Amino acid sequence: MTERVKEIISWYESDNPGTRMNIARLLNHGRLGGTGKLVILPVDQGFEHGPARSFAPNPPGYDPEYHFQLAIDAGCNAYAAPLGFIEAGADKFLDSIPLILKLNNHDSLHDEKDPLSSVTSSVDDALRLGCVAVGFTIYPGSSAAQIMYEQLREIAKEAKSKGLAVVVWSYPRGSDISKAGETAIDVVAYAAQIAAQMGAHIIKVKLPSDHLELAEAKKAYEKYEVPIRTPAERVRHVVQSSFNNKRIVIFSGGAAKGDEEFFDEVRAIRDGGGFGSIIGRNSFQRVHEDAHKFLDTVMGIYEGKIP
Amino acid sequence: MTERVKEIISWYESDNPGTRMNIARLLNHGRLGGTGKLVILPVDQGFEHGPARSFAPNPPGYDPEYHFQLAIDAGCNAYAAPLGFIEAGADKFLDSIPLILKLNNHDSLHDEKDPLSSVTSSVDDALRLGCVAVGFTIYPGSSAAQIMYEQLREIAKEAKSKGLAVVVWSYPRGSDISKAGETAIDVVAYAAQIAAQMGAHIIKVKLPSDHLELAEAKKAYEKYEVPIRTPAERVRHVVQSSFNNKRIVIFSGGAAKGDEEFFDEVRAIRDGGGFGSIIGRNSFQRVHEDAHKFLDTVMGIYEGKIP
Amino acid sequence: MTERVKEIISWYESDNPGTRMNIARLLNHGRLGGTGKLVILPVDQGFEHGPARSFAPNPPGYDPEYHFQLAIDAGCNAYAAPLGFIEAGADKFLDSIPLILKLNNHDSLHDEKDPLSSVTSSVDDALRLGCVAVGFTIYPGSSAAQIMYEQLREIAKEAKSKGLAVVVWSYPRGSDISKAGETAIDVVAYAAQIAAQMGAHIIKVKLPSDHLELAEAKKAYEKYEVPIRTPAERVRHVVQSSFNNKRIVIFSGGAAKGDEEFFDEVRAIRDGGGFGSIIGRNSFQRVHEDAHKFLDTVMGIYEGKIP
Amino acid sequence: MTERVKEIISWYESDNPGTRMNIARLLNHGRLGGTGKLVILPVDQGFEHGPARSFAPNPPGYDPEYHFQLAIDAGCNAYAAPLGFIEAGADKFLDSIPLILKLNNHDSLHDEKDPLSSVTSSVDDALRLGCVAVGFTIYPGSSAAQIMYEQLREIAKEAKSKGLAVVVWSYPRGSDISKAGETAIDVVAYAAQIAAQMGAHIIKVKLPSDHLELAEAKKAYEKYEVPIRTPAERVRHVVQSSFNNKRIVIFSGGAAKGDEEFFDEVRAIRDGGGFGSIIGRNSFQRVHEDAHKFLDTVMGIYEGKIP
Amino acid sequence: MTERVKEIISWYESDNPGTRMNIARLLNHGRLGGTGKLVILPVDQGFEHGPARSFAPNPPGYDPEYHFQLAIDAGCNAYAAPLGFIEAGADKFLDSIPLILKLNNHDSLHDEKDPLSSVTSSVDDALRLGCVAVGFTIYPGSSAAQIMYEQLREIAKEAKSKGLAVVVWSYPRGSDISKAGETAIDVVAYAAQIAAQMGAHIIKVKLPSDHLELAEAKKAYEKYEVPIRTPAERVRHVVQSSFNNKRIVIFSGGAAKGDEEFFDEVRAIRDGGGFGSIIGRNSFQRVHEDAHKFLDTVMGIYEGKIP
């Protein structure tokens, strides 16, 4: 194990060896293995946005095996998906790529101001499918947040006792938060803090903007001149807000955009001390070759081979 | 076992031998046994619509034994019904026809915009009655969908661990979906995807129309020119949306209609790569002889003996 | 055991010997024992309507022992009551009369459009008190029906596994049903069907009127000319709607009325193929001697000794 | 054991010896021991009304030990209080006075039209603290009554199986009941009946007024000329409504009032066949000596030594 | 053990030796060890107010290890925090400082009139992390108070059976309480009483003002001339309201304010018989040296070395 991975694992001092081993497996797998950086392929858009919106741009993606193969070919650290997609390849791709079972999901057929994800699989499902971690989404700011927090508590407790790692998607949403507020720096840093306080090993947040949403927080940012002007500074603040850089925080890029713009975001994550990216639509909605090349560049940036 | 059945079973690689055997029993039983096609007789209309609406057209149908016999005589792959109907014949027709216990039901005495089915029996009931599978309805789009998803998760987990197959009726309904939207191609494909992601082995949806309901989805269908003009194309898209044809998807015909119209629908299912039909009112509301003849034609179409 | 009782028991083929024995005990006890007909004394009005409304007309009825004795003296098949009343005599009248523990109850101190009964005792209470069956009320049509259906499912599953019979009071009520609709023939037949589908061994409904409540059902009754003009025809339709006469269906008479009118209703139940009556206020609100004589006539009608 | 206590215990024929022994301990303890009459000291006002309203009138009452001592000194049959108060003296006053653990409580900091008490301790707490009984409040008439009934069912079932007695405070309240209705004779008798039907061993109600609240009940009281003119007649009617005097029914006096008025109420309870009093504020809000003397008079009335 | 600690422990007579030992560990640790006084460092503001509002004033506080060290250096009796912060240092600072795991938390991203905290960790988490106590917040006055009371009951029962102490933060809030009412003397004393009645070993309330919020309580305070004019008198009344000084009651200071003002509050707590302080923002938002000095003065006041 590299010194960096040893260091990262040392932060999870309260966990049992099983969980620590599974965090290490995530950090040691794939092209970035051992660097302490991660690129994860998540494919839950079929559930979240529907099949055609997700896979019509690159129809091989309708096939669950495609995504296992893409994650393997591109050298990702892990592949994350809901129950059905994982069940459909866990045996065929046995031990080829660390798997993260996404335990809750939300579809777009019903629109709620204060969303609540449905728990669609379990820690025991993750175990029987050979996963290294469970994934769980919380929506801080939703009036249903308490339900999701308490579901997460139960799941995290069970996962930790059974030697799995816990990955939390922390996405602020709800009737008290503006659209801009969902990616506001104060809100994203707060969302990362909540996930960390709830015991997440790996935290996934959106790349934040320089917007400040909460009046009380705004005062503090201004009074103490917290540096949040550049994307890298904001990444640094989010990572600092996650136990002073002692929790693995990765960032998602959201909807497809221009490649250069995307690579700049990756540079910001790298330069701000972020731990990596979770890249869904920007990879699997391209044809396989393009996706491979695209992820190659992303990993090159994280490796520092591409400035 | 035929090669086709072996192929289908291979898609369910994460399941235990007990569950895989029960899926095989469904595929191997009856006149279409071994072809990979299924025709299932479901009789839950007594609960869903009331007894007279369901059985007055053919009064022998008031008797639970009638439907077992009809399914056997017509050579169906399986018979699906709620607890009471299954209890009333499971012993008499022991091992004569694979049984699917329908675990939840909804009646028409209370009208809700966002429906929630009641769980009316259990996985253990299915076991004590010798069933090969449990059936469960979800209403994606209902504000109560989360409740049903979480019930399904528990039931599917238990059924799989106890060696049963899981059949999901995925019927979009609810306050955010128009009447036309309930059978819109984008919505039906989405409903099939959700069922597949939740781990269903067999998915039952309605035959879709060419309507597009969801604004975001519409853009994708148009941009990527997804072929959805003919019924067969739409069937093909729904099956593709179910893990690229790697899940068993069967279609229901809805209310009684002209026979030729119905047979054309069956041809579309066959030609679009669908796995079969689930035919309730169109069969049991006819007198026995007519129903037999009607199902004979349906199966002939699936066999390809009738063009 | 008489041939008729053997025949009736044969319909419950999926049940274990314990449950079948308890159904037989109900059918074999009392004056109508062996005929396949039942008269049951239910006394839950103290809870449902309050003590003075229930017992002031015949004050000995305040005493729980009175009702045990009345049921025994009159030769009823069984006595049904809530926990407190059963606890207060189960030991004294040990093995003198089959007991049905009513597991849920509703009081009149709070008025709801969509009623929900409270579960007030349990299957294990029924066992420790030596009962042959549990009783449970559902209100199909109530917005709370799903809660009661799911409670019934749990209770029925437990009762059946522990060798008890399940008696379901199926009383349509709720905001979508008119007052007349509560006893409409289509609604009562539907309520009986729901109870049967949920696995009830014995179904209790109200004697239906010729009103048709549900628009879709009305069409079917008219198109197929279902005979529902006379009380006996309506009883026949309800029994047919209960698995083609293969479930025990008994009828309640409701509030006290003229004796002759009541006896005519009993004749209709008998002539329509109903299985008997459950008679509360019409018996225990009379002085003991009158009640005895009244029930004597009722049983004479069921025996056919009184035309 | 006196004949009277033996007679009372005989009414609880369905209970196990452990529970019957604990009912006997309540009846045999203190100055009224063996007479079949009870005076119980309840101190839950600290939770229900707050500390200063409860204890400022007699500040030693802030101390939990004070109330144990008062109940012992005055020769009460039992002392009833919430978890904290019982925990604070159960060991010190070991076996000196039968204890009733009050399992639910309601505070006055939030005002609801339809109140719901919070369950604040458990049957197992009662066991570990050496109590003879659990106490539980229901508010018949509240829209939350069903919740409390179902909590009571679970608690009563557990308590009975573990050999404890069950004391039910049955206090009608809620949006459908007028202020006067809360102590109306028809409503109080109904509340006693509900508690009895739910399996309570000891029922606590408020002393009723001659008001009639419920229209349907009013008709019955008038038609059958139920005697409810004097307080003693109303007590008699409530006791009759509790299984014809076969359940222990005790009465609370409510807020402090003139002593003579209070003693007259006690005489009415005695003369009407009530089983005793539960006296809180009227005792512990006096200085110890006065309280002692006051309770001395009350017990003298119950003994019949004071006319 | 000092006599004072022995005396305090004697009040918890109903607890098992494990729990009593853990209360003693809290009382015996740190600079005030053995005096019966406590100063506890709580750091849950990251969850409650967000990271920047909490830690930007003193950025080393972003690091979870910082707070363990601060509590140790300052000689606090214990350190209290949510799951994530405790997990991040429990092993490194093994046995250096008693730990209190805060089991529920509330964030500021969603604003509710009647707040409900989320349960974010469990008694078993406290055990696996080596804590001496669990902490739990209730909001008496919230319409969600019943939920929190029942959560507390379950948690307290489990914690006591497993040998842990129970610390309750009792903070009145909700739609029926005015802003001033949240710290009104009658309301704070009531909140302390509720926590004590629910079985809390240690009660944390806010330092009360002389406002009287509740009309009924106001009458009692005025009639019985309860002394509440000075801060020390109010502390005395709160402690009296907590079982006549027989429960450990500590006070929080709220938002940062002038040091002298703060020290005067500490003097009032000391002089009124309070057991100590729980000091969060006033300590960890200062640089380490200042915080150390600040807490040094606070402890000096409690020791009586500073008048």
| 3-state SS record for A196-243 | HHCCCCEEEEECCECCCCCHHHHHHHHHCCCCCCCHHHHHHHHHHCCC
Q: What is the model's pLDDT at position D285?
A: 95
DSSP code per residue over A118-161:
EE-S-HHHHHHTT-SEEEEEE-TTSTTHHHHHHHHHHHHHHHHH
What's the CA gap between D186 and C113, in Å, rounded? 23
- Is it the case that residue B46 has pLDDT exceeding 80? yes
Q: What is the model's pLDDT at position C257?
A: 73
Does E contact C via 3+ CB–CB distances below 8 Å?
no
The closest CB to that of C240, out of B62, B118, B124, belongs to B62
Chain C CB contacts of B121 under 8 Å are 153, 157, 198-199
- Is it the case that residue E63 has pLDDT exceeding 80? yes
Q: What is the model's pLDDT at position B193?
A: 98
At D290, is the pLDDT very low, low, confident or very high (cuts 50, 70, 90)? very high
What's the CA gap between E9 and E11, in Å, rounded? 5
DSSP code per residue over D276-294:
EEE-SHHHHTS-HHHHHHH
B127 phi and psi angles, rounded to 5 deg:
-65, -45
At E256, is the pLDDT very low, low, confident or very high (cuts 50, 70, 90)? low
Chain A CB contacts of E67 under 8 Å are none
E155 touches chain A (CB under 8 A): no
Which residue from C minimizes the CA distance to D144?
A: C110
- Is it the case that residue C256 has pLDDT exceeding 80? no
Distance between C216 CA and the closest CA of chain B, angstroms = 7
What's the CA gap between B258 and B232, in Å, rounded? 19
- Give E52's Cβ-side CA count (13 Å radius): 30
pLDDT in tens, A127-154: 999 999 999 999 999 999 999 999 999 9
- Is it the case that residue D297 has pLDDT exceeding 90? yes
Does B contact A via 3+ CB–CB distances below 8 Å?
yes
D-contacting residues in E 173-202 (Cβ below 8 Å)? 174-177, 186-187, 189-194, 196-200
DSSP code per residue over chain B:
--HHHHHHHHTTTTS-HHHHHHHHHHHHSSTTTTTT-EEEEE--HHHHT-HHHHHTTSGGGGSHHHHHHHHHHHT-SEEEE-HHHHHTTTTTTTTTS-EEEE-EE--SSS--SS--PEE---HHHHHHTT-SEEEEEE-TTSTTHHHHHHHHHHHHHHHHHTT-EEEEEE---STTS-TGGGGBHHHHHHHHHHHHHTT-SEEEEEPPBS----HHHHHHHHHTT---SSHHHHHHHHHHTTTTTTSEEEEE--S---HHHHHHHHHHHHHTT--EEE-SHHHHTS-HHHHHHHHHHHHHHHHTS--
At A255, is the pLDDT very low, low, confident or very high (cuts 50, 70, 90)? low
- The answer to whether the CB of C285 falls within 8 A of the CB of C297 is no
Residue from B179, B204, B218, B223 carrying the catalytic annotation: B204
D46 touches chain E (CB under 8 A): yes
B215 touches chain A (CB under 8 A): no
Q: What is the model's pLDDT at position A16?
A: 96
- Is it the case that residue C253 has pLDDT exceeding 80? no
pLDDT in tens, A165-175: 999 999 999 99
What's the CA gap between A131 and D258, in Å, rounded? 74
- Amino acid occupying residue B98: P
Chain B CB contacts of C157 under 8 Å are 121-122, 124-125
Which residue from B minimizes the CA distance to C218?
A: B53
Q: What is the model's pLDDT at position E253?
A: 73
Contact E14 D59 (CB under 8 A): no
A142 touches chain B (CB under 8 A): no
Distance between E278 CA and the closest CA of chain D, angstroms = 23
Distance between A55 CA and the closest CA of chain E, angstroms = 34
pLDDT in tens, D185-219: 999 999 999 999 999 999 999 999 999 999 999 99
pLDDT in tens, B67-124: 999 999 999 999 999 999 999 999 999 989 999 999 999 999 988 899 999 999 999 9
At E17, is the pLDDT very low, low, confident or very high (cuts 50, 70, 90)? very high
Tell me, yes or no, if the pTM score tops 0.90: yes
A227 touches chain B (CB under 8 A): no
- The mean pLDDT value of chain D amounts to 96
Distance between C87 CA and the closest CA of chain D, angstroms = 5
- The answer to whether the CB of D20 falls within 8 A of the CB of D202 is no
Contact E145 D107 (CB under 8 A): yes
- Is it the case that residue C57 has pLDDT exceeding 90? yes
Contact C88 D142 (CB under 8 A): no
D-contacting residues in C 98-137 (Cβ below 8 Å)? 105, 107-112, 116-122, 124-125, 128-129
D305 annotated active-site? no
Contact A197 E83 (CB under 8 A): yes
Residue from E92, E204, E206, E257 carrying the catalytic annotation: E204
Contact E47 A193 (CB under 8 A): yes
Chain D CB contacts of E15 under 8 Å are 87
Chain-centre distance of CA A48, in angstroms?
15
Chain C CB contacts of B126 under 8 Å are none
Q: What is the model's pLDDT at position A111?
A: 82
Q: Which residues contact D157 (CB under 8 A, 6 or more apart)?
A: C121, C122, C124, C125
The closest CB to that of C83, out of D193, D199, D246, belongs to D199
**Of all residues in chain B, what percent carry a pLDDT higher than 90?**
96
What's the CA gap between B65 and B101, in Å, rounded? 15
pLDDT in tens, E79-124: 999 999 999 999 999 989 999 999 999 999 988 899 999 999 999 9
B11 touches chain A (CB under 8 A): yes
pLDDT in tens, D78-120: 999 999 999 999 999 998 999 999 999 999 998 889 999 999 9
Does D contact E via 3+ CB–CB distances below 8 Å?
yes
- Is it the case that residue C255 has pLDDT exceeding 90? no
- The answer to whether the CB of B140 falls within 8 A of the CB of B190 is yes
Chain A CB contacts of E89 under 8 Å are 13
Chains with 3 or more CB pairs closer than 8 angstroms to A?
B, E
Q: What is the model's pLDDT at position B255?
A: 62
**Helix, coil or strand: residue D190:** helix
Indicate which of C146, C185, C210, C248 best probes the interface with B, i.e. most B CBs within 10 Å of its own CB.
Answer: C146
Task: Report residue D121 as tokens.
Answer: 């301790």
The closest CB to that of C118, out of D150, D174, D221, belongs to D150
Distance between E128 CA and the closest CA of chain D, angstroms = 25
Contact C186 B50 (CB under 8 A): yes
Of C298, C288, C213, C216, give the one whose Cα is nearest residue C251.
C298
What's the CA gap between E291 and E288, in Å, rounded? 5
Chain-centre distance of CA B304, in angstroms?
21
Chains with 3 or more CB pairs closer than 8 angstroms to E?
A, D
Place of tokens 């422990």: E9
Which residue from B minimizes the CA distance to C213?
A: B109
The closest CB to that of E46, out of A175, A176, A197, belongs to A197
pLDDT in tens, D114-150: 999 999 999 999 999 999 999 999 999 999 999 999 9
Which residue from E minimizes the CA distance to A195?
A: E84
- Is it the case that residue B254 has pLDDT exceeding 70? no
Q: Given the DSSP bridges, would you call strands A118-119 and A104-105 parallel, antiparallel or unpaired?
A: antiparallel
pLDDT in tens, B145-187: 999 999 999 999 999 999 999 999 999 999 989 999 999 999 9
Which residue from E minimizes the CA distance to D120?
A: E153
At D263, is the pLDDT very low, low, confident or very high (cuts 50, 70, 90)? very high
- Amino acid occupying residue C150: E
Task: Report residue D154 as tokens.
Answer: 């679970």
Q: What is the model's pLDDT at position B148?
A: 97
**Helix, coil or strand: residue D185:** helix
Of D241, D187, D174, give the one whose Cα is nearest residue D214.
D187
Task: Tell me the CA distances in angstroms from E208 to B260, E115, E171, one per residue in order.
Answer: 82, 21, 11
At E18, is the pLDDT very low, low, confident or very high (cuts 50, 70, 90)? very high
Chain A CB contacts of B192 under 8 Å are 51
Which residue from B minimizes the CA distance to A90?
A: B14
Distance between A13 CA and the closest CA of chain E, angstroms = 6
What's the CA gap between B244 and B192, in Å, rounded? 11
- The mean pLDDT value of chain B amounts to 96
Assigned CATH for A3-303: 3.20.20.70
At C111, is the pLDDT very low, low, confident or very high (cuts 50, 70, 90)? confident
Contact C120 D153 (CB under 8 A): yes
